[in-house]
Structure 1
């Protein structure tokens, strides 16, 4: 088959989809990619023989630039005569399905990495995204969902020809297991005392990732031996840095920026905290589990697929900082609970292992022929 992978921006392919593309190339398929190139294209993509097309999708569905991106995409699909479009992310996937709706010889496989409408989502999300996704589903040959809430809703309401559940994009747990660190040395590198209780969060500094709530919880714990490090960059960085001074925890909270050593930092930490308001199925959370960390995370779609409350950590209300305070205190004050939660997560994450996910996807692609 001749297959085109489409995402809104290039980082989605770089972060999640290279193993999927490699599986298809190894089977003898021609795979190309189309996205807005917002970062240098990884050499692996070219090494696999993929053609790369720059189509300037915008993440905002209201941007006028998406119309010209749609026209460019439609011409590409017609000219290159693709058999299958594997599409990811909402804006790009809307453009794909509109472009292909009258093409008889092209199949569309849409992977929803987390619908913008979900239990507890703002009303505007339901009014905007739900009717669009429901309408576009009739132009979808295969709809793949990566968490159980999305799967159940799609099964009940959408008109895609086939709806499948696959547990995430896959995590290479074997690679994570090979990472060995000197914990004390790593903490010195991060500027954290070697005997501190280290809380870690990973995620863009934006409103959805909700780091503000954890910062306030750290202040309420009022324990100078509890340190909090945040990996990520984003628009709220200045605001959050101001907040830690207001909360008087500027000596305990550190912003590490974008990091390529997340696994090492996980292995130097004591607990992973993930306070997002919305997630599909977080790779960062899965990585923390594979590193044997106990978890305190928001009780939301996706997170519920990963964390068993009271066995791998605690699921809490993302809007209530007192719940984070209570959960962190329980983990901090009980060494045996830390260890048992971590071991439970190491076993639980095996369901989401890369090899297992790749095998499931291989069967779905075979069905699409």
Structure 2
């Protein structure tokens, strides 16, 4: 039996983003091994048909601990005699490609889930990450990008093959067979049935930029709305203090981590996604699959999914007035919300998990790693 090693920085990568790839590899007869820092491991890993290998990799590119991690990973590769390596995350991609090159493993596949250098990125990102990716591309048989901006950037590199694959895929028809009693769900959440529900899903961090929506909502004409934010993070107090200072604390609900996100998509009227940086967002694709119109930032990945004025509205991440106008238009135009939601239902079919799995199967087979 052939063996492949999937490498990442943290183990949650495997159950959040790699289940489709693991399924494809299993179908091709592979024994799938995974290597990561498993300090974040939980029971969700137990359902995956994988072998686990812990090594002490850290996200921080400047820590000396990654020297030890490199040696651990190289030792693992030597002892297990893998037939191929598929690596993810910036540091996972660095250490895995260096280790595989040093002992002669080929092919090496690297999926870039969003380069740290991008249009509008800080100059330090370009100075640090661009040269590293360019050099390491020489040790890459297949470089997979998940959005069109990264695909264009990767054309300058020396990888043997550069391929665009639309993210990790999503079950595009998943929501069509799910019924949610909207009235009861809203009652459970303490929301009146006549309120317009605006939903965001994402960590409470600076990148997700939830504050721009709070600021925008404080300025719109129509006040019968509720803004729900699903996610955890260190900015909860900041966001609620901001809402309080703007006089809309009763309009903003921080829901934390939720197991019923699908239900929330189904009862929402609008999806808001104002991030500064994305690769290709699963949350945004889920909202599209639920038939929601979208107000989002005009950044890489988002612009792959949403065309301005069709599936929703695009605004610069800092454009408070622009977000406010977009939300105002959607709240006050039922027909527009319906048409944009229908457009998103059509568009998301291109990103269906079966489409992505078939493309990944071709990658694995064409590289003769079976």
Q: TM-score range by the shorter chain?
A: over 0.9
Q: Which residue of 2 aligns with 1:135?
A: 135
Residue in 1 that maps onto 2:153: 153
Gaps of 5+ in 1: none
The 2-side partners of 1:249 and 1:167 are apart by: 38
Segment drifting more, 144-153 vs 63-72:
63-72
Preserved contact between residue 6 and residue 88 of structure 1 (Cα < 8 Å): yes
**Cα distance in 2 for residues equivalent to 1:306 and 1:114:** 15
Matches of 2:5 and 2:16, distance apart in 1: 17
Report what 2:267 is aligned to. 268
Aligned ranges for residues 94-133 of structure 1 at < 5 Å? 94-133=94-133
Per-residue deviation, residues 112-141 of structure 1 (Å, max 9, x unmatched):
011011111111111111111111111111
CA-CA distance at 1:222 after TM superposition: 5.2
| CA deviation map 1:4-43 (0-9, x unaligned) | 1111111111111112101211221111111112433445
SS, match of residue 288 in structure 2? helix
What secondary structure is seen at the aligned counterpart in 1 of 2:133? helix
**Correspondence for 2:175:** 176
Q: Matched residue of 2:71: which SS? A: helix
Q: Which residue of 2 aligns with 1:324?
A: 323
Q: Give unpaired runs (5+ residues) of structure 2.
A: none
- The answer (yes or no) to whether the contact 1:14–1:42 under 8 Å persists in 2 is no
- What's the RMSD between the two structures over aligned residues? 1.3
**Secondary structure at 1:314 match in 2:** strand
Moved more, 343-352 or 89-98: 89-98
Distance 2:110 2:263 in 1: 33
- TM (norm. structure 1) is 0.96
Residues 249/357 of structure 1: CA separation in 2 closer, same or farther (3 Å cut): same
Question: What secondary structure does 1:251 align onto?
Answer: helix
Counterpart in the other structure of 1:334: 333
The answer for the alignment partner of 1:62 in structure 2 is 62
CA contact (8 A) 2:311 2:341 kept: yes
How far apart in 1 are the matches of 2:250 and 2:139?
54
Partner of 1:21: 22
Matched length: 367
Aligned-pair distance for 1:299?
A: 0.4
Q: 3-state DSSP class of the match of 2:233?
A: coil
- Counterpart Cα distance in 2 of 1:148 and 1:63: 32
Deviation track 1:135-164 (CA, whole Å, cap 9, x = no partner) reads 111111110000011001101x10011111
Deviation of 1:250 (Å)? 0.8
- Counterpart check, 1:33 vs 2:34: yes
